[in-house]
A and B are shown apart, each in its own frame.
Chain A
């Protein structure tokens, strides 16, 4: 069975600080990897995804993530955060192939950015 672990429950940063949110997954086969974001009062939105190819994936709003297969990791990064990045971030995985299908989510990381 797949599982996803996010290292930090709550991260607090000041504006312009760099961000890295950890995500590790457990699954023996090929995986598809995702980061979703939920802004306060809004629904989950897809930030970025990895299916295959270049392991460094760029998403919306300046976010990127790197897939390191040997470490079973897919960490999310942003060089300089803004107050508007305050949200909850979820890492998710689905079994490999071209189908999204069933997503397995991590517990989520709440990011608070102080102006």
Chain B
């Protein structure tokens, strides 16, 4: 039973490019959460989505960042016009329902040149 799958594991972008991070939740899970871990810091909540809906985006930066979880396919975290400060590890988690434990993926390490 595959866990939460994130790809790519490592992503390198130049300043100004777009970064797309993908997350396939565990089978049967319809709730997805994105977290960001900056160097020397803990994980910070970004956004909580349920199929086709954004439930809580209180942790998302106001500009350049967006997330979606379409009816079919993985959840996508998109960062437009990346800057050096976007360098971080981005973790995705999923749960079957909102009151069930979150299962985490291995993360995507984003490096901005």
Contact = CB atoms under 8 A, between A and B. Distances in A.
A107 B99 contact: no
Interface residues of B, number: 27
Contacts, number: 53
B106 A43 contact: yes
Q: Would you call the interface of chain B mostly helix, strand, loop, or mixed?
A: loop
A100 B99 contact: yes
A74 interface: no
Given A43-B105, A98-B99, A102-B56, A90 B42 contact: yes
Interface residues of A, number: 21
Interface in A72-115: 90, 98-108
A103 B45 contact: yes
Interface string B14-27: 00000000000000
8 contacts: A42-B106, A43-B104, A101-B98, A103-B45, A103-B102, A105-B42, A106-B42, A108-B42
Interface of B: 3-4, 33, 35, 40-45, 48, 55-56, 58-59, 91, 93, 95, 98-102, 104-107
